[in-house]
Structure 1
Amino acid sequence: MRINRKQVKIIDTAEQAFVSGDWFAFDQLLRDHPSIILGHRSSSQATFLHYAVWKKNHVLVKALIKAGADVNWQNNQGYTPLINACAAGDDASAQLLLRAGADTSLRDHMGRDAACFGLLETKPKMKIKRKER
């Protein structure tokens, strides 16, 4: 998809707002230019929804879903926003994504699904005891 200068400026402004934590400005751009914001993919094919989940910003996750973000988009490693949420142990984002129709059967490039990440993240840490001499 080719983008024009105006779209580049909108995306740059949205990225700056996102990185700096200016959620009001980002939300305003999302409301004013939803197709540009929702259509943007990073070099790793991640969406703003992936990043909102990584930041555990539940308000922004909810706003992006409401605006029509693709909850099943896979980045170049196959990670979906749901896989990211489960890997991070972020139950709130996972619940929002599931209610929005996130597909639990999608797998990453190594064949792992969201449930696998969820299980790995919630397993108690193994404690290795040293033998006394």
Structure 2
Amino acid sequence: MNILYEAPGTEEYMALRKAAGLPAKEESTVLTAMNHSIFTVIAREDHSELIGMGRIIGDGACYYQIVDIAIRPSHQDNGIRDLLMKELMSYLEQNAPADAEVIIMADIPLIGLYQKFGFEFTYPKSISLSKRV
């Protein structure tokens, strides 16, 4: 397996999202999103198949959000999610200001993973809201 610091191709990103059970995105939307990411890390098989990824978005100063933690189902028990989170956190520790806020919207089964990296529930101080346009 190879860890690379680059955005995946549009088609392979869309295929990975589908394989990981994430909602589909339009190709033009994906291209814009990848070009506006602050940091992206991907995992590829030795023969170059995209097997996982994660990225950071935000304003690059006050707020960062970890998004698109996606792993192919055939590789989900191989520790890749932990490895990608370590890479994302390492980037933030080296590049984000000390008082920056890092946000993650967690799927319920993955809460323990994110807590392992220091993430805490915002409730009851705050609560996240979301809307799809």
Shorter-chain TM-score bucket reads: 0.3 to 0.5
TM (norm. structure 1) is 0.36
More relative contact order, 1 or 2 (CA 8 Å, 6+ apart): 2
More strand per residue: 2
- The higher radius of gyration belongs to 1
More helix per residue: 1
TM (norm. structure 2) is 0.36
